[in-house]
Homo-oligomer: A and B are copies of this chain.
Amino acid sequence: MSERVIFGIDLGGTTAKLGLFSENGVLLEKWQIPTDIRDKGKNILRDLAASVRVRMSTGRFTAQDVIGIGLGVPGEVLQDKTVEPCVNLNGWGGFYVAGAFSRMCGIPVKAVNDANAAALGELWKGSAQGARNMYFVAIGTGLGAALVIGGQIVEGFHGAGGEIGHMIIKPEEKREFGRGKRGRLEQYASASGIACEAKQLLETADEPSLLRQYGEVTAKHIFMHAQQGDALARRLTEKFASELGRALSIISCVCDPEVIVLGGGVSAAGDTLLSAVKKAYKLYAPVATEGTVIRLAALGNDAGIFGAARLMMK
């Protein structure tokens, strides 16, 4: 092989996305494999290594042809490189993941928090190209986030730079939600949060809604029916957007980024959601930051593999 390659991997709770990149950062191919979280995820690295090896063999790459593997993980990567146990992976983690994976593959590996990886991807080839200061919010089952200052990820002192899902925006909240504290942003502005709100609303009100056709209502259903005009779905979406918009205005008050990029699965809800979030943002933001650019992630679900691969460049 004349050109060397890089693997970018985005390890999620359901699937792992893998990408093969040229050494100058062109995505050559992408694919995914299921994540096996049984037994505290003991097969995760073995399965990933097997998939990398298969791709190397079909491409006739030797270990020398591979510059390295960037690996995004759904947990914080601490300063000593330990990955904190990942809730979405049944507690997998608590060890030096990059080191273990590197030994398994015989290839250099760097691990990075998945929200940080997605932020790096958007900064490099997505919605925040050219920005120096950026805040990335990944809206999925839960919330993740990453702060970029001067083109660099700010890890945060406790590796908790992206804990925005935990900001208590409604201290008066009485209802429990998951294992975290009550009234945190995640309770309102995440896929699991809006699904939970929908369930409660459908149970307590007898207003007709197309959402009643589903055994288990998901965020996807809600955003889809909101777009199609279902009044109850629309109210849920507006509340979601309002809380998220207010949280983004708070982020602007704290660190005044140039661009805020919304990624993660929920960002697929598209322009309806985006414009509602922007409207709420403007309502709450101080005048000086009313003009902050808010954009959807351009790379969608690929942001993570791009950012992970970026880690191994230069």
Residue A36 at the chain B interface, CB threshold 8 Å:
no
Q: Are B171 and A157 in contact (CB under 8 A)?
A: no
Contact of A289 among B133, B163, B257 (CB under 8 A): B163
- The interface bits of chain A over 155-169 (1 if a CB of B lies within 8 angstroms of the residue's CB, else 0) are 111111101111111
Q: Are A76 and B168 in contact (CB under 8 A)?
A: no
- Given the complex of chains A and B, what is the CA–CA distance between A106 and B250 in angstroms? 42
Which residues of A from 220 to 251 have beta carbons under 8 Å from B?
246, 249-251
* Residue numbers in B under 8 Å from A156 (CB-CB): 133, 255-257
Contact of A255 among B147, B289, B292 (CB under 8 A): B147
* Residue numbers in B under 8 Å from A251 (CB-CB): 254
Q: Are A254 and B258 in contact (CB under 8 A)?
A: no
Contact of A159 among B161, B180, B288 (CB under 8 A): B288
- Given the complex of chains A and B, what is the CA–CA distance between A286 and B164 in angstroms? 9
Residue A252 at the chain B interface, CB threshold 8 Å:
yes
- Given the complex of chains A and B, what is the CA–CA distance between A164 and B253 in angstroms? 5
Q: Which residue of B lies closest to A181 (CB)?
A: B284
A161 to chain B, nearest CB (A): 5
* Residue numbers in B under 8 Å from A286 (CB-CB): 160, 163, 166, 180-181
Q: What count of chain A residues pass the 8 Å CB interface test?
A: 42
Which residues of A from 269 to 305 have beta carbons under 8 Å from B?
284-286, 288-289, 291-292
Contact of A291 among B158, B167, B257, B284 (CB under 8 A): B158
* Residue numbers in B under 8 Å from A253 (CB-CB): 160, 163-167
Which residues of A from 138 to 196 have beta carbons under 8 Å from B?
145, 147, 149-150, 154-161, 163-169, 171, 180-181
Q: Are B167 and A256 in contact (CB under 8 A)?
A: no
Known A157-B256, A168-B246, A181-B284; 7 more pairs at CB < 8 Å = A160-B253, A160-B289, A166-B253, A168-B249, A181-B286, A250-B250, A250-B254
29 residue pairs of the A-B complex, CB under 8 angstroms, read A76-B288, A149-B149, A149-B150, A154-B255, A157-B257, A158-B288, A158-B292, A159-B256, A159-B288, A160-B252, A161-B256, A163-B256, A164-B253, A165-B253, A166-B253, A166-B286, A167-B249, A167-B254, A168-B246, A168-B249, A168-B250, A168-B284, A169-B169, A171-B246, A180-B286, A250-B250, A250-B254, A254-B255, A255-B255
